[in-house]
Amino acid sequence: MAVIRPATPADADMIATVHIAAWRAAYRGLMPDSYLAGLSVDTVSARWRQRLEGGGGEGRFEEGGASAALLLGEDATGRVVGIGAAGSARGLDEPAMGEIWLLNLEPGAWGTGVGADLLAAATGLLEAQGYGAAVLWVLEANARARRFYEKWGWEPDGVTRVDQSFGFPLAELRYRRSLAP
Ligand SMILES: CC(C)(COP(=O)(O)OP(=O)(O)OC[C@H]1O[C@@H](n2cnc3c(N)ncnc32)[C@H](O)[C@@H]1OP(=O)(O)O)[C@@H](O)C(=O)NCCC(=O)NCCS
């Protein structure tokens, strides 16, 4: 089992490094090269530091009126290789619905089990907070992530969207899973 712990503002550089490495590896060909090349550790790190400083501890942060907690997964040497966030479902008027906001591993940690441990910790957090079910959004073309979520009991619920928030279109599917009472 990987060590999973809540993020602190002091982790911001590592969070950004993992985030960017994961995106560059997983989204090549799915997002414009120029966008991926332009991602900056300093910019992403500053955003995470600010969010976590405003969250009140235990990895909590807010975005757009919704709140979540950011968890970190470490490899056997104690290095942070994965990040995962879970909280209330964004954009849904369903108080009992949680959401996995993000899950990213640097490519060296793919296939090592850290992702499964992070996903289990994130869903466990939602269960502990009383959510009855959860959703997550995944790129339609992200075959590896879809296979991973399906392995852990998540299923597409038929809802789709085209996310334009990055300035280019991203076709996404919503996945859903019931949580333990
Ligand atoms: C998504 C992610 C957390 C999954 O963690 P992981 O350690 O890679 O997952 P696993 O190796 O346990 O499972 C991946 C599954 O996809 C399969 N797979 C690998 N490459 C694949 C591909 N190109 N197409 C389809 N399936 C693939 C693997 O064989 C494995 O299935 P199996 O266990 O039945 O063999 C990790 O890959 C990651 O961080 N990716 C980059 C960011 C990302 O895409 N995040 C998800 C955002 S919604």
To test the pocket of ligand 1, the residue of 20, 100, 135, 144 to mutate (highest count of ligand atoms within 8 Å of its CB) is 144
CATH code for the domain in which residue 139 is found = 3.40.630.30
CA nearest ligand 1 atom 28, residue: 144
**Residues 181, 169: contact at Cβ < 8 Å?**
no
Cα distances from 128 to residues 27, 65, 179, in angstroms, run 32, 21, 10
Nearest residue CA, atom 15 of ligand 1?
Answer: 148
Q: What spacing in Å lies between the alpha carbon of 175 and ligand 1's midpoint?
A: 15
- The residue whose C-alpha atom lies closest to atom 21 belonging to ligand 1 is 144
pLDDT value of position 176: 98
What's the total number of domains in the chain? Answer: 1
Whether the per-residue pLDDT at 64 is higher than 90: the answer is no
Residue range 124-141, pLDDT digits in tens: 999 999 999 999 999 999
Tens of pLDDT, residue by residue over 83-99, are: 999 999 999 989 999 99
Q: What angle is formed at CA 104 by the lines to CA 96 and CA 22, rounded to 5 degrees?
A: 155
**Ligand 1 atom index nearest CA of 22:** 41
Q: Helices (H) and strands (E) in the chain — how many of each?
A: 5, 8
| 83 Cα to the center of ligand 1, angstroms | 15
d(Cα 69, Cα 62) in Å, to the nearest integer?
9
Closest CA to 72 of 125, 32, 27, 130: 125
Please provide the DSSP assignment of 90-133 as one string: TT---TTEEEEEEEEE-GGGTTSSHHHHHHHHHHHHHHHTT-SE
In ligand 1, which atom is closest to the CA atom of 109? 7
- Does pLDDT of 65 surpass 90? no
Ligand 1, CB within 6 Å, residue ranges? 22, 26, 103-105, 110-111, 115-116, 138, 142-145, 147-148, 151
The domain containing residue 99 runs over which residues?
A: 3-178
Q: What is the pLDDT of residues 26-43, one digit of tens each?
A: 999 999 999 999 999 999
Q: Is the pTM of this model over 0.85?
A: yes
Hey, how many other C-beta atoms are within 10 angstroms of the C-beta on 77? 6
H or E stretch at 177: strand 170-178
